[in-house]
Structure 1
């Protein structure tokens, strides 16, 4: 794990860490559980506090998508194959929660350009609404790789533009993988 992740876990989840360390053994599974919690949980640290905007509540947000289990499995496979998020393995539940716009859900982005390409490819297949960047920003679902700020619609747009100007093999692969969804 990267040192800032360890620091974040120790600082933001002190109670959980104490409980894990108080047991007779601390396994790799315990460690990975703490990291997954850090990567996908709502940040409780004052540095991440914000005033809730009534217009930006997650309840009013929607991608207006209805993915089949096969489609969701393909999206999860794409996220894991190309390491889009800072979790060891993206689970089906993680992506279902993200696309359901569940309030309080957060996931750290490993490569914003690749995440933007994923969502753009889903838009290209008419799987999600055109205002996906705004939904992600307003819902504050995505955190930067360092976990210190929320990903904005502007940064998603910039990343997508860069991916279009200089597409890489990963960009092509993500688009191809999403293009093959049932």
Structure 2
């Protein structure tokens, strides 16, 4: 049995990954598609004002809303699927859910970004590639904007030059 986990968050990149997975794996009767949404954990000082059931209900509503377009696409395509949501760090939670479900792969959508951008943001794709023993298939979206392609590296080079100049003086 081929089990495929696809993280969904309502983004175009997640929908691209879903379409790719349906085209490649969805036609096989021995493939199970699992879509999963990750909800953030509430900070302890916020969570103490709400009951666990209220928090769980709120996260379930948000997860269903985030997975709505993915579920509609799969229903129109006639593909059987299951839906779960988990809470916590995105990369770790997705890896743990894939292991729990016995998935053979994770198909994730990702925006094209340069290395410097990924360095400064919490990239779920990079985290999954780093920690997962389950194969991770990355489906990329549109190319990165010109500002990000040239502007961020130029800012980084300028900052590095200024730092070197400050150290030398």
Q: Normalising by structure 1, what TM-score?
A: 0.25
Q: Normalising by structure 2, what TM-score?
A: 0.27
Identify, as 1 or 2, the structure richer in strand.
2
